């Protein structure tokens, strides 16, 4: 009986060694990150001026921050994204618009190894400082941003984002000078993503 027990333990030990070695040699599969925190630089292009028949220079520099959380039912490919950004322009002492966007919406992501490709559609509101245009009817309006980008994976927890969006707002003025600010134009941004 003791001899049978000894042989059974020996057989179990011998068969466990290859399994243990295989487990150490197998690559570790890490699940996709559930949360993404982003912060970076953004540039909002100035709208096309149809009266001059060429693109007008002088966009708005700024910043962007966002947080994406997973939508619990669908897994890591669908998330809800909150996005806040600010854009600034200083052309003259009397014309220095500051625009702020507060947006929320779905983001669809495809994970490619350490990198991620995504698209999003965001809605919310935009706010413009009162001093930008004295004839502004309202300094807050409905805003939409549709776009996407690439998070290039630097590690499991860090990535570098490149993103492009189409912006649309509905600011109106009494004297048609609103094309000097952001109504329908594009935005590009880049910065660091923390994934956890």
For the chain, domain boundaries: 36-195
- Mean pLDDT, to the nearest integer, of 109-126? 94
Return left, alpha or beta for 72; rule: phi > 0 is left, psi -120 to 50 is alpha, else beta.
Answer: alpha
Which position has the higher pLDDT, 123 or 178?
A: 123
Kindly report the CATH number that applies to the domain delimited by 36-195. Answer: 2.40.160.20
Dist. CA 147–CA 48, nearest whole Å: 19
Q: Please answer whether residues 89 and 58 qualify as being in contact, where contact means their C-beta atoms are separated by less than 8 angstroms.
A: yes
Burial of 167 (0-12, 13-18, 19+ CB in 10 A): buried
Q: Please answer whether residues 164 and 145 qualify as being in contact, where contact means their C-beta atoms are separated by less than 8 angstroms.
A: no
Contacts of 108 (CB under 8 A, 6+ apart): 77, 78, 118, 119, 120
Which helix (H) or strand (E) element contains residue 140? Answer: strand 140-153
What percent of the chain shows pLDDT beyond 70? 64
Note the pTM of the prediction, 2 decimals: 0.73
With a cut of 50, say whether residue 54 has pLDDT above it: no
- Mean pLDDT, to the nearest integer, of 39-65? 75
- Mean pLDDT, to the nearest integer, of 90-102? 74
With a cut of 50, say whether residue 20 has pLDDT above it: no
């Amino acid at each position: 009986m003791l001899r049978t027990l000894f042989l059974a333990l020996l057989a179990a030990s011998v068969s466990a060694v290859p399994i243990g070695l295989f487990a150490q040699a197998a690559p570790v599969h890490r699940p996709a990150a559930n949360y993404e925190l982003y912060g970076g630089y953004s540039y909002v292009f100035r709208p096309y001026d149809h009266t001059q028949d060429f693109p007008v220079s002088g966009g708005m520099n700024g910043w962007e921050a966002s947080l994406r959380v997973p939508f619990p039912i669908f897994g890591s490919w669908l998330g809800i994204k909150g996005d806040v950004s600010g854009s600034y322009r200083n052309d003259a002492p009397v014309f220095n618009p500051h625009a702020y966007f507060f947006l929320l919406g779905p983001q669809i992501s495809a994970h490619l190894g350490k990198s991620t490709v995504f698209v999003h559609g965001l809605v919310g509101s935009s706010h413009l400082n009162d001093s930008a245009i004295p004839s502004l009817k309202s300094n807050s309006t409905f805003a939409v941003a549709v776009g996407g980008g690439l998070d290039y994976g630097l590690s499991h927890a860090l990535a570098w984002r490149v993103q492009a969006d189409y912006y649309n707002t509905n600011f109106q003025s009494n004297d048609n000078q609103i094309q000097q600010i952001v109504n329908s134009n594009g935005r590009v941004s880049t910065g660091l993503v923390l994934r956890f």
